[in-house]
Every structure is written in structure tokens, then in C-alpha cells.
Amino acid sequence: MANNTMIEHLGIEFIELGDDFLRARMPVDHRTVQPAGLLHGGASVALAETLGSAASFLCIDPAQFNVVGVEVNANHVRSVRSGWVTGTARPIHLGKSTHVWEIHIVNEDERLVCISRLTMAVVRLDR
């Protein structure tokens, strides 16, 4: 699924699927930090969008539909210099034409680093 993609480049690893969540982790290393050595906000957003997009895909029939990102926002509340961050996506709304996800990203001490919301459009495939 992730060969030769941003997911692979950033080292994102899917680690858990539950009844109402999807979880993945991402290293805080040379691939994901900004020049000051802190986790880049864009890397956090990439993790959030990856999680919400994958979770949305798991909620559709891929023979009939696809999902595409419409909007993503993020509030960065704590910096991280090293280790791993873990994101958990949970649905806020799973409708016929849109899905809305809330993604919490935490550090290794389970402290909130970023909270993000992602809106996905559910698009019928033309066959």
C-alpha cells in the first residue's frame, strides 16, 4: 500500500486497528524534523491525513467508491525532538458523501502533540 509514497518516506507504520479507531506511529528523525530539530508541523499533518484517509478507505466499498481529502487542519500544542509520535484517528461523522475524522497525535509519554481534523469526500466511481 505504501511503497514509494510519502508514508514510506516518513517511516509511518500502521500499528493497530480497533472497532472505532486506526493507529499509526511515525519517527521523529531527520525525515520529519524542521531546521531547529523539532517535529515539523507538516509531518504531523501528513501523519494525520494518512490516518484519516486510510481509515475512511476502510469504511467504504472500494469497488464502488473512493475517498479523497477535502480539508485538513491541525493545532500543534507541544514540540517533540526525538523518539516516536503516535496518531489515533476516530470518526466524528461517517456519512454517505463525507467522512470527518479527529486525529490525536501524542508523544512517547502519551502527551498531546497535535490535534487534527480531516474531512474526506466519498466519491462514487464511474464504471
Structural contact between residues 24 and 8, judged by C-beta atoms closer than 8 angstroms: no
Beta bridge partners of 69: 120
CA dist., res. 55 & res. 53, Å (int):
5
Beta strand ranges found along 29-82 (DSSP E) = 65-76
Cα 84 to the center of its chain, rounded Å: 14
16 tagged catalytic: no
Q: What are phi and psi of 6, to 5 degrees?
A: -60, -35
Spot the catalytic one: 13, 16, 49, 71: 49
Fill in the amino acid letter for 12. Answer: I
> Cα separation of 89 and 12, whole Å?
14
* Catalytic center residues: 49
